Every structure is written in structure tokens, then in C-alpha cells.
Amino acid sequence: QSSVLHKFKGVIFSTMSSEELLNSLDSFEAREDDVFLVSYPKSGTHWIAKVIENIPSARITLTPPIELGDISKFEELKTYCERRVIPTHLSYSMLPMNIKQKQCKIIYIVRNPKDIAVSFFHYYRDNPNLPSIETWHEFFELFLKGDVVYGSWFDHVLSWEEHKNAKNILIISYEEMKKDPSKNIKKITTFLGLNVTDSEINQIVWKTSFTEMKNNTAKENCDPNHTICALTSNRNLVFRKGAVGDWINYFTSKQKRVFDELFTEKMKHSELAKHFGDYS
Ligand code: A3P
């Protein structure tokens, strides 16, 4: 294991998430109006965060991830006066208890796992906060085994899917967002109880397009408080291709077969599996 990583309860974390912080997650005090933006890494977290930030009537503050930093984190999170939107890559079981008790609103983002694997591979290569990886083949094996930060994609998604019918949880998919951003932005605003006009929605679609966001990274990079992913605050590492189906350029036919077999096995009771199936 590399020095930039450590294991907590069997799951790999970045050392930027201190063990002490991870150990005290249950002491986090949620507010009833908090919104949690939850995802497995590389699912489109920055994108949805940007959508929420651009809702004119939202009056929210996007905070850094709950699991980033040390124990002083909870004090820092208390200093936000506006409604907090708090990103995290935690699995359901690790999510602080108080968030569950208060039934805070949670948006869980999903993306087809083959594209996530490819996106994650590039993140590992480009991000100095992650160990270096030589080849796609090497990363593919780690991803399959869940030997990557935040653990197995399967376990993560299944942990959240169990709660997908709870009325405080909204599931948004990367692929649906791509296909029909207006419709999905509307879903988000309705879920958050916010009114937006059609022209405001069009504005949000435009401002959160991949090109627009990629072109604005230089500007936003200056703000260290604008960290959405606990694995880096460097937004230049985030906007790579922004496409659906890029996995086809990486997976060999054998890798596809091995992946599909594991997918079928792990996801046999999953309803979400059907959605991902459309992209494999
Ligand atoms: P790729 O590496 O496939 O390009 P996260 O924000 O959870 O770290 O996810 C990052 C992935 O979302 C990257 O995928 C990134 O390019 C993509 N992404 C970010 N903003 C996007 C946008 N506005 N539209 C489409 N994809 C976007």
C-alpha cells in the first residue's frame, strides 16, 4: 500500500481523510435542511454540484467533502450560515448517523461502471494524491477487486440502492443527465423544493455543459474551499472527456467478458443494473 493511502474498516482512503476524522463521523451534527451530494468517485459529482450552485433561488453554500481533512472538519462545517450542500464519496454504511436520523435530502449520482473505471484510471495517473499506476490492465484488476480508494464500486452502489425508495433520496444518473439535462435538472430542483423557470433551466444547462465547465476551471482553481472531491482540489484533473461509452476504447474483449460476469453475479438483485446494462 502506498503512503498516500490508508485502510479504514477494510476500505482504502486517501491519507487526506484522517483516521481520526473517519472514526468520528458519527459525531457530525446534521441540519435538517442539509443536502448531501453522494457518489462513488468519477460519477459526475462536480457536474451535479455545479447544477445545484447555479439554481438562482437556491441560496446554498457548497462545502468541501465531509470526509476530507482532520477532526477540525466538523467545527469548520458549523461556520456555514446558508443551507449546506455537502459532497461525499462515503458508502451508506459509513454515512454519519445523524444524517440518517434527520432524513436529510440526499442526491446519489450513478454512472455506468465501465466508464467510471476508465475515468478513475486517468485520475490515478494524473492525481499526485493517488498512487502511480503503470497500465490500464493493472488498474482494471484493482478496480475489479475493489482495491481502489472508496472500495468496490459494486458495494458502494448496492449499499445506496437499498435505500433508493426512501423519499429523502434522489438518484440521478450521469447517462440520463447527458441525454436530457433539462429534465434531470428539473428533477433536482423539484426534489430540493426550489422553483425555477424554463429559461433559468436553459441557463443552467448551458453553464454546466462540459465545455463551459472545462473552460472555467482555471478561474475556479484559485479557490481552495471549492474542493468537491476529497482526492484533489485541483479541478484541472477532473474535466477529461465527459463522454458516455469511452470504455470501449480501453476494455479488451476479455476484460469486457470478465467484467460482465462479475457484474451479473454482483448485481443479480439490483434494479439499477438494468440502467447500466443499457451502456455495456
Ligand atoms: P471522464 O474522466 O470520463 O471525462 P467526478 O466529478 O465525480 O469526479 O466525475 C468526473 C467525471 O465527470 C469525468 O469523466 C468528467 O469529465 C465528467 N464531467 C465533469 N463535468 C461534466 C459535465 N459538465 N458534463 C459531462 N461530464 C462531466
Helix, strand and coil in the chain, % to nearest 5 = 45, 15, 40
pTM of structure: 0.97
What is the C-alpha to C-alpha distance for residues 69 and 80, in angstroms, rounded to an integer?
Answer: 17
Whether the complex's predicted ipTM surpasses the cut of 0.90: yes
Mean pLDDT estimate for the chain: 95
**DSSP code string of 7-39:** EETTEEEETTB-HHHHHTGGG----TT-EEEEE
pLDDT tens sequence across 78-131:
999 999 999 999 999 999 999 999 999 999 999 999 999 999 999 999 999 999
Q: Does residue 89 have an active-site annotation?
A: yes
**DSSP code string of 75-129:** HHHHT--SEEEEEE---GGGS-HHHHHTT-EEEEEE--HHHHHHHHHHHHHH-TT
Please give the average per-residue pLDDT across 216-237, as a whole number.
82
pLDDT tens sequence across 174-213:
999 999 999 999 999 999 999 999 999 999 999 999 999 9
C-alpha cell read off for 140: 482494471
pLDDT tens sequence across 3-17:
899 999 999 999 999
The 8-class DSSP code of residue 64 comes to P
Please give the average per-residue pLDDT across 225-239, as a whole number.
88
* Predicted pLDDT at 56: 96
Q: Measured in angstroms, how far is the CA atom of residue 125 from the centroid of ligand 1?
A: 16
Q: What does residue 227 show for φ and ψ, rounded to 5 degrees?
A: -85, 125
Residue from 47, 89, 114, 241 whose mutation best tests the ligand 1 pocket (most atoms within 8 A of CB): 47
Q: Measured in angstroms, how far is the CA atom of residue 101 from the centroid of ligand 1?
A: 31
Please give the average per-residue pLDDT across 250-279, as a whole number.
94
* Predicted pLDDT at 105: 98
* Predicted pLDDT at 184: 98
* Predicted pLDDT at 60: 96
pLDDT tens sequence across 44-87:
999 999 999 999 999 999 999 999 999 999 999 999 999 999 99
What is the C-alpha to C-alpha distance for residues 274 and 228, in angstroms, rounded to an integer?
Answer: 29
Q: Which protein residues touch ligand 1 with a CB less than 6 Å away? A: 39, 41-47, 115, 119, 122, 208-210, 213, 229, 238-242, 246
Q: Could you tell me the maximum CA-CA distance found in the chain, to the nearest angstrom? A: 52
Question: Closest Cα to atom 20, ligand 1: which residue?
Answer: 47
Q: What does residue 185 show for φ and ψ, rounded to 5 degrees?
A: -65, -40
Question: Closest Cα to atom 14, ligand 1: which residue?
Answer: 242
C-alpha cell read off for 231: 482526492
Residue from 236, 239, 246 whose mutation best tests the ligand 1 pocket (most atoms within 8 A of CB): 239
Question: Closest Cα to atom 12, ligand 1: which residue?
Answer: 44
Q: What number of residues does the chain have? A: 280
* Predicted pLDDT at 221: 67
Contact, 32 vs 98, CB < 8 A? no
